[in-house]
């Protein structure tokens, strides 16, 4: 362990998370690495009221895509990604970086290749309702009123710095 590692260990404001890269949210408003899956919500291209819940399971790379009312996505057949899953994979890489997504899904992505191309799973429906409710919970943060109360713990959170 060198001295900069030691300084990082002992720095109460050590930076742990990388800076978030801004991404367009219109197509894929929600992406997360949780519950053993890369999962998220993809807006339907044709119907503003409809969203698709898409996920890729870590390890097995099982693919799942359906509407929030549990109607299977017609574009997901066999082992190839539907356009929703492709968007999900692209936006996850944009948000978290390829390394973190690949590590979570336990997939080797050869240099110059894409995450979607490196996946070898097949269709394996996962529960859409749970992911959709996590998306609603995510959106609910925006409904919480701002607070003027003391939150001194925020001093530990300095953001990740600007992406230059």
Partner 1 sequence: MRGAQLAALLEQAPAGVPEALDLVSGFDDLLEHGLARIGQGRAGALAAIAGALEGTPLGSPAHEAVAKLSAGSVSREHLVTLAGARAALLGAAHDALLEHCDAALERTRGAWNQSPSAAVGTGPGEAVQAWLQELAVTGWRGLDQGHVDGADRLVEALLADPGGRRLAVLLDGLAAELRASVPIGPAACVPTRRWADLWSRAMLLARQATNGAGDTEPVTGRLLPLGVDVLEHGTAVQVLVYGVLETPTGTPRLVRTGVTAAKTDTISGPAVWRLLTAFPLLLTALAQQRSLELRDVALTADGRLLWDEARAALGEVADPFATARVLLPGVLAPAAAPLDRHPVALNEPVLVEGYKTAGGSWTVDGRNLRIEVDRLPATGPLTPALLKASTACIGVLRHDGSGWLLRPLAVQAKSKNSSTAYHGGDWALGPTDPKVVKAESKSGDPVAVLRERAGRLLRR
Q: Which two tokens stand for residue 31?
A: 């992406």
Q: Sheet of 37-43: strands edge to edge?
A: 30-34, 37-43, 51-57, 63-67
46 lies in the binding site for partner 1 (CB under 8 A): no
Q: Smallest distance, Å, CB 70 to partner 1?
A: 15
Is 22 a binding residue for partner 1 by CB under 8 A? The answer is: yes
Number of residues this chain uses to bind partner 1 (CB under 8 A): 60
CB of 9 to partner 1, least distance (A): 5
From 72-80, 105-113, 114-122, 130-138, span contacting partner 1 (CB under 8 A): 130-138
By the rule CB under 8 A, 47 interacts with partner 1? no
138 contact partners, CB below 8 Å, separation of at least 6 = 30, 32
Interaction pattern, residues 138-157, with partner 1; x per rule: CB under 8 A: xxxxxxxxxxxxxxxxxxxx
65 forms beta bridges with 54
Q: Is there a contact between 92 and 81 (Cβ–Cβ < 8 Å)?
A: no
- Provide CB contacts within 8 A for 58, sequence distance 6+: 36, 37, 38, 104, 105, 106
- Stated length of the chain: 164
Q: Is 33 in the site for partner 1 (CB under 8 A)?
A: yes
Q: Which is nearer to partner 1, 62 or 123 (CB)?
A: 62
- Residues within the interface to partner 1 (CB under 8 A): 1, 5, 7-17, 19-20, 22-26, 29, 33-36, 43, 48-49, 51, 95, 100, 135-159, 161-164
């Amino acid at each position: 362990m060198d001295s900069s590692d030691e300084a990082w260990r002992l720095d109460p404001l050590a930076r742990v998370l990388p800076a978030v890269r801004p991404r367009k949210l219109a197509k894929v408003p929600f992406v997360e690495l949780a519950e053993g899956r890369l999962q998220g919500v993809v807006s339907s291209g044709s119907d503003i009221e409809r969203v698709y819940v898409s996920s890729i399971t870590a390890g097995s790379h099982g693919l799942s895509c359906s509407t929030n009312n549990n109607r299977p996505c017609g574009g997901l057949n066999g082992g190839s990604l539907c356009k929703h899953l492709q968007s999900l994979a692209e936006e996850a890489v944009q948000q978290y970086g390829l390394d973190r997504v690949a590590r979570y899904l336990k997939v080797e992505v050869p240099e110059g290749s894409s995450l979607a191309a490196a996946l070898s799973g097949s269709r394996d429906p996962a529960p859409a309702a749970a992911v959709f409710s996590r998306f609603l919970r995510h959106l609910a943060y925006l409904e919480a009123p701002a607070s003027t109360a003391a939150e001194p713990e925020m001093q530990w959170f300095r953001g990740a710095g600007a992406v230059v």
